Structure 1
Amino acid sequence: MADDRRLEVLSAIVTDYVRTREPVGSRALVERYRLGVSPATIRNDMAALEDEGYIHQPHTSAGRVPTEKGYRLFVDEVARIRPLSAPERAAISALLTGAVDLEQVVLRTVRVLAQLTGQLAVVEYPSLRLTSLRHLELVALAPARLLMVIITDTGRVEQRTITLMGDRPDPGDDGAHGVIDPVALERLKIRLNASLVGRRADDVAPALAGLAEQAPSDERALLAAVTGELIAALRPDAEERIAVAGTANLARATPDFTTMGPLLDAIEEQVVLLRLLSGDPADASGMRVSIGSENHEDALAEASVVTAGYGPGVGDAVAHLGIIGPTRMDYPATMAAVRAVARYLSRFLAGPQD
């Protein structure tokens, strides 16, 4: 449907219904919106929109409400991402100012996104698989146990505790097997950083294999233990982390859902949230809006998900953030907030610019 006037009528119906949660009649449209046509023309346009499945009449003699198809058309053809207000921009800027590490900025980000949109907000931590290694730290904790700290270019920090096995030593191993030699540990740390810093996850395993071929005998047990844990941390199915805020916002939207329990249960499943965040390809602006059945999850059949990617480089998304709310949401405002927060977070990851 490409009739500009009918698009205006649909836009007015969506806007009014989002604001009032009441079915919208032709009289309300005439009184509240300057559509420039007679009430009879508006009624005809509403009848056409209903015939095409964009709106429906929930009760006899009642006004109309948008359908999932109507919301989809509104988002694709009508909704425009409006700029945030000065107070909203200031709130985001103040949020990120003074954040010292990724953990802190993600937790701040998810809270402000929930506050700006009035929806449930989700922020995915940058994936270890999509980031580059900035530094690898090895610290002895006990004679046979060490701490490996992985620091990525996005500021994500991952810690793994490694215990050396007390099996038979390799022939020619000069060190006491199963006991960490501080000198060998320091040499190995320097060697690993020289070889791995700046590499993506896919490039780490080949580099480690090359190091293993040239490793001195007193580093072999250490290198083998570190290699196993490092590859495990960077494997494709490694556990990702997410932060969630605003569950109470979703609870307040109960009238928009037939039942709330299955929706809340689905949101507790991290796998579901990760799939929602990084589902179908984003549009040209880097955003994605999925409505109702487009979420491919029965529990989210009455919900909409608005997401955007973020990362330290232009077009280089290493994670996603977004909101989950009822299909009856203010799409332009929500899309503006999600896009703005993603951009602020990307600038934080990029660091100071010269």
Structure 2
Amino acid sequence: MVTDRGLQVLRAIVQDYVDSHEPVGSKSIVERHAFGVSAATIRNDMALLEDEELIAAPHTSSGRVPTDKGYRVFVDHLAELRPLTPAQRHAIASFLDGPGDLDDLLVRTVRALTQLTGQVALVQYPSFARASVSHVELVPLDAGRLIVILVTDTGRVSQRLVLLRHELDETTITRARTTVGDLIVGRSVRDGVQRVEEFLSTADDPTRHDDAATIAIVRFVAEELDEFRQDRLVMAGAANLARRESDFRGSIYPLLEAIEEQVTLLRLMSEMVADEHGLATSIGRENASFGLIEASVVASDYDATGARARIGLMGPTRMDYPSNLAAVRAVARYLSRMLDDDENAR
């Protein structure tokens, strides 16, 4: 059973180890923290923490480092979120303020977060299955080429270059624009996908009079709508893993692979259980089923006009949890406000 003072000693060990990257001994704890007891008493508290597998000796050094279990206890019971400084809040506002579509805003969000923390920043796109398509535009470039633009009521903008084998005169483009608009504009992405699939399922019917160019354009629209329904991540700061490779006990390759593939990180981000404040943390061996036992992930929920998604950080288990959790919470709240303001302005 760990005493209250033992938990405070754990807090000191975590904080000092994160700051110094050196195993923490009883003498340094007495010197740096006002416990009002002797080094021998602190050593007894540390022995109890070691019995509970909350700290461990990395080698013959007399110092101790937190285990994954120790970090978990620290985060669950001891970590107080450190308020961001005015300079940090100004940096967030500077990065995120200004016009731009959702894609641009999420890119700026992860760039801001990785600069604030020095970790890999991740943000999920909100689910657009329930979003409605508010506008469709076909922009001809030259013979056989045009750009298809789709806009949703949640701010998602898609631009796709379409290459066709057919001549595109103004009549053909107008007819295709009308057909696509009738199928999806004013409807949810989910309903639009269904209507497009129904249209394409009868495209070869000889009684239909749709021209080949229109059918081809509708096929491209179907692919783009399917992209809208899929979960996606935007990331920044992967180079920080290489800079901090010494913080990892083993190889960083599984983390780099997860960044490249995205699927693993999407599952992990989605399955993390949030607390009452919308914050979630997954530490070290808790990520074993995802092959990421070398990493910790902290995340916060954000709201995109009713659709929930997450913004987070990935890095070594030796990370500054209070500061990183405060950063993802602050950026998530700022992002939610910006998306809400944008929605109200429509």
The sequence identity of aligned pairs, in percent, is 49
2:282 corresponds to? 290
User: Are the structure 2 counterparts of residues 144 and 304 from structure 1 closer, same or farther at C-alpha, using a change threshold of 3 Å?
Assistant: same
User: Are the structure 2 counterparts of residues 297 and 191 from structure 1 closer, same or farther at C-alpha, using a change threshold of 3 Å?
Assistant: same
**CA apart distance, 1:54:** 0.7
1:230 corresponds to? 221
Is 2:191 aligned against 1:203?
A: yes
Once the two structures are superposed, residues 65-88 of structure 1 have per-residue CA deviations (whole angstroms, 9 ceiling, x without a partner) of: 100001011111111223211111
Once the two structures are superposed, residues 140-182 of structure 1 have per-residue CA deviations (whole angstroms, 9 ceiling, x without a partner) of: 44565543212223433223345667xxxxxxxxxxxx65563
User: Is contact 2:125–2:233 with CA below 8 Å preserved after alignment?
Assistant: yes
Query: Among residues 338, 341, 346, which one is paired with 1:348 in the alignment?
Result: 338
Q: Return 331-340 or 142-151, whichever deviates more.
A: 142-151
SS of match in other structure, 2:235: strand
Aligned length: 340
**Contiguous gaps of at least 5 residues in structure 1:** 166-177
User: Are the structure 2 counterparts of residues 188 and 257 from structure 1 closer, same or farther at C-alpha, using a change threshold of 3 Å?
Assistant: same
CA RMSD of aligned residues (A): 3.3
Q: Return 327-336 or 289-298, whichever deviates more.
A: 289-298
Q: Which amino acid aligns with 1:156?
A: R
Q: Distance in 1 between matches of 2:244 and 2:140?
A: 51
**CA apart distance, 1:281:** 3.3
User: Are the structure 2 counterparts of residues 186 and 285 from structure 1 closer, same or farther at C-alpha, using a change threshold of 3 Å?
Assistant: farther
Q: Distance in 2 between matches of 1:187 and 1:284?
A: 52
User: Is contact 2:26–2:63 with CA below 8 Å preserved after alignment?
Assistant: yes
Q: Which amino acid aligns with 2:221?
A: L
1:25 corresponds to? 25
SS of match in other structure, 1:10: helix
SS of match in other structure, 1:82: coil
Q: Counterparts in 2 of 1:307-346, with a 5 A limit? A: 307-313=299-305, 316-317=307-308, 319-346=309-336
User: Is contact 2:176–2:217 with CA below 8 Å preserved after alignment?
Assistant: no
Is 2:262 aligned against 1:281?
A: no
User: Are the structure 2 counterparts of residues 269 and 53 from structure 1 closer, same or farther at C-alpha, using a change threshold of 3 Å?
Assistant: same
**CA apart distance, 1:95:** 1.0
Q: Distance in 1 between matches of 2:208 and 2:99?
A: 43
Q: Counterparts in 2 of 1:242-253, with a 5 A limit? A: 242-253=233-244
User: Is contact 2:131–2:188 with CA below 8 Å preserved after alignment?
Assistant: yes
Q: Return 282-291 or 261-270, whichever deviates more.
A: 261-270
Q: Return 224-233 or 116-125, whichever deviates more.
A: 224-233
**CA apart distance, 1:36:** 4.5
Q: Distance in 2 between matches of 1:249 and 1:138?
A: 41
TM-score (norm 1): 0.81
Q: Which amino acid aligns with 1:118?
A: G
**CA apart distance, 1:294:** 1.9
User: Are the structure 2 counterparts of residues 81 and 222 from structure 1 closer, same or farther at C-alpha, using a change threshold of 3 Å?
Assistant: farther
Is 2:294 aligned against 1:306?
A: no
Q: Which amino acid aligns with 1:293?
A: R
User: Are the structure 2 counterparts of residues 143 and 79 from structure 1 closer, same or farther at C-alpha, using a change threshold of 3 Å?
Assistant: same
User: Is contact 1:185–1:219 with CA below 8 Å preserved after alignment?
Assistant: no
1:54 corresponds to? 54
SS of match in other structure, 1:278: helix
User: Are the structure 2 counterparts of residues 195 and 34 from structure 1 closer, same or farther at C-alpha, using a change threshold of 3 Å?
Assistant: farther
1:44 corresponds to? 44
Q: Counterparts in 2 of 1:1-354, with a 5 A limit? A: 3-129=3-129, 131-141=131-141, 146-162=146-162, 180=168, 182-183=170-171, 185-186=173-174, 189-190=177-178, 192-193=180-181, 196-208=184-196, 219=210, 221=212, 224-235=215-226, 241-262=232-253, 263-296=255-288, 300-313=292-305, 316-317=307-308, 319-352=309-342, 353=344
User: Is contact 1:162–1:225 with CA below 8 Å preserved after alignment?
Assistant: no
**Contiguous gaps of at least 5 residues in structure 2:** none
User: Is contact 2:13–2:29 with CA below 8 Å preserved after alignment?
Assistant: yes
Q: Which amino acid aligns with 1:256?
A: D
Q: Return 118-127 or 303-312, whichever deviates more.
A: 118-127
**CA apart distance, 1:220:** 6.4
User: Is contact 2:295–2:317 with CA below 8 Å preserved after alignment?
Assistant: yes
Q: Which amino acid aligns with 2:35?
A: L
Q: Distance in 2 between matches of 1:133 and 1:211?
A: 17
User: Are the structure 2 counterparts of residues 109 and 328 from structure 1 closer, same or farther at C-alpha, using a change threshold of 3 Å?
Assistant: same
Q: Distance in 2 between matches of 1:237 and 1:108?
A: 20
